[in-house]
């Protein structure tokens, strides 16, 4: 569950990290009122759960309250990378001397946390990390030890951050632990011309499994950053959006995960994880297909089902009925195996949909779906 910048800002403030004075609103008229209260000159920032707002025009300086209203009105009509801007934060502007990058992130592979920090923070941090990795320090954190002052000093030293940031690094770690966060990122953490260290932006990801004790963030969009994930969750499907072009549907999390691997092994990238579970009724199949097909990046869809308690003929019936409900616009490759596979295949053959083809092996089906996606 990703928090909005203004929610991260609120946490930082509670834990004693300096942040600019700011207020959030969904009304451009109110933005003018807030700007007046903050002294006139303000920064207006789109509240969307995606990065790169600055480069997308989602962070703008306004010289006076009238300009703040106009800027807010324009921003509230924007869509940043598929995220409609529903509110803006109006903040007191800060005179920046230097911009740093700091984050704590869970390193699942290592079973530890990782501090990532750089003295060259700001909007170009990705480029810095790509071209000069030595400018970005990566310090493992033993979760049982946490970030003590000594550890924070080690992080600051490795990244070339001024000593003043040590206290902030300890407080940000407190945020991570006590708020059940998987990620706390501040970019930029700044030193102002007045010599103060402040968090000018914040990204906090709260562990969804801890939602029961982090209730204050509510069921906001059911915690899904991606609108498709929210739509799928509303239909009771386990769907995770990925970056590729091959849509994947399967029954059982293990089978779907290995399907993702096989698709990747065929030189294509999976567009999603979608487990329709044991039942695989016509309804779930139709819901699953419609979620996958509403992702414009999808070029082909791979249905990989191993019939168990739910036999393949029932799944095939589900697919046939789903084809009546959903307008199929991209090729569908189906692999049915296991219980009653032959009957299931016969049902699909009889339906003879021009965009549906069957391949009997998992590897073969993945290869076909990958080909269709890369040549489409």
Is 13:61 a contact under the CB 8 Å cutoff? no
Residue 188 vs 247, nearer CB to ligand GDP = 188
Q: How far apart are CA 340 and CA 317, in angstroms?
A: 12
CB of 247 vs ligand GDP, minimal distance in Å: 29
Q: Does the annotation place 305 within a ligand binding site?
A: no
Q: Does the annotation place 304 within a ligand binding site?
A: no
Q: Does the annotation place 308 within a ligand binding site?
A: yes
Q: 52 contacts which partner out of ligand GDP, Mn ion, none, CB within 5 to 8 A by kind?
A: ligand GDP
Out of 154, 201, 313, 317, the only residue in the binding site for Mn ion (CB under 5 A) is 201
Q: Give the residue closest to Mn ion by C-beta.
A: 201
CB of 20 vs Mn ion, minimal distance in Å: 13
Q: Does the annotation place 338 within a ligand binding site?
A: no
Tell me which DSSP letter residue 81 carries.
Answer: T
Binding site for ligand GDP (CB under 6 A): 20, 43, 45, 51-54, 59, 93-94, 96, 99, 122-123, 187-188, 200-201
CB of 69 vs Mn ion, minimal distance in Å: 24
Catalytically annotated residue among 69, 185, 229, 245: 185
120 binds Mn ion (CB under 5 A): no
CB of 64 vs ligand GDP, minimal distance in Å: 15
**101 included as an active-site residue:** yes
Residue in the structure block whose two tokens are 């300009």: 67
Q: Does the annotation place 155 within a ligand binding site?
A: no
Q: Does the annotation place 299 within a ligand binding site?
A: no
47 binds Mn ion (CB under 5 A): no
Q: 94 contacts which partner out of Mn ion, ligand GDP, none, CB within 5 to 8 A by kind?
A: ligand GDP
CB of 295 vs Mn ion, minimal distance in Å: 27
Nearest-CA neighbor of 90 among 16, 50, 40? 40
187 binds Mn ion (CB under 5 A): yes
97: helix, coil or strand? Answer: strand
Residue 33 vs 56, nearer CB to ligand GDP = 56
Catalytically annotated residue among 101, 104, 120, 179: 101
Catalytic residues: 101, 185
Q: Where is the binding site for ATP, in residues?
A: 45, 52-54, 94, 99
| Residues contributing to the site for Mn ion (CB under 5 A) | 187, 201
């Amino acid at each position: 569950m990703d928090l909005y910048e203004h929610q991260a800002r609120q946490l930082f403030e509670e834990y004693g990290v300096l942040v600019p004075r700011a207020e959030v609103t969904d009304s451009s008229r109110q933005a003018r009122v807030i700007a007046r209260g903050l002294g006139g000159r303000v920064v207006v920032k789109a509240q969307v759960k995606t990065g790169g707002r600055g480069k997308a025009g989602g962070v703008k300086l306004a010289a006076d309250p009238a300009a703040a209203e106009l800027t807010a009105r324009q921003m509230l009509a924007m869509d940043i990378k598929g995220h409609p801007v529903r509110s803006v934060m109006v903040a007191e502007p800060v005179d920046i001397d230097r911009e740093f990058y700091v984050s704590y992130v869970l390193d699942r592979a290592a079973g530890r946390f990782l501090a990532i920090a750089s003295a060259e923070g700001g909007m170009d941090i990705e480029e810095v990390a790509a071209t000069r990795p030595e400018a970005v320090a990566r310090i493992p954190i033993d979760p049982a030890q946490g970030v003590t002052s000594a550890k924070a000093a080690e992080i600051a030293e490795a990244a070339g951050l001024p000593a003043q940031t040590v206290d902030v690094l300890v407080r940000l770690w407190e945020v991570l632990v006590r708020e059940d966060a998987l990620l706390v990122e501040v970019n930029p953490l700044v030193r102002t011309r007045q010599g103060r260290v402040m968090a000018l932006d914040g990204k906090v990801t709260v562990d969804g499994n801890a939602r029961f004790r982090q209730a204050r963030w509510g069921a906001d969009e059911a915690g899904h950053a991606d609108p498709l994930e929210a739509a799928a969750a509303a239909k009771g499907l386990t769907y995770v959006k990925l970056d590729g072009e091959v849509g994947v549907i399967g029954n059982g999390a293990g089978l779907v995960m290995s399907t993702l691997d096989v698709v990747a092994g065929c030189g294509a990238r999976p567009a999603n994880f979608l487990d329709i579970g044991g039942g695989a009724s016509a309804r779930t199949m139709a819901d699953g297909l419609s979620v996958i097909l509403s992702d414009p990046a999808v070029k082909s869809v791979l249905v990989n089902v191993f019939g168990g308690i739910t036999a393949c003929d029932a799944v095939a019936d589900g697919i046939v009925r789903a084809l009546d409900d959903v307008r199929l616009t991209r090729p569908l490759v189906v692999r049915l195996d296991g219980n009653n596979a032959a009957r299931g295949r016969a049902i699909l053959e009889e339906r003879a949909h021009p965009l549906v083809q069957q391949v009997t092996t998992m590897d073969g089906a993945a290869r076909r779906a990958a080909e269709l996606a890369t040549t489409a």
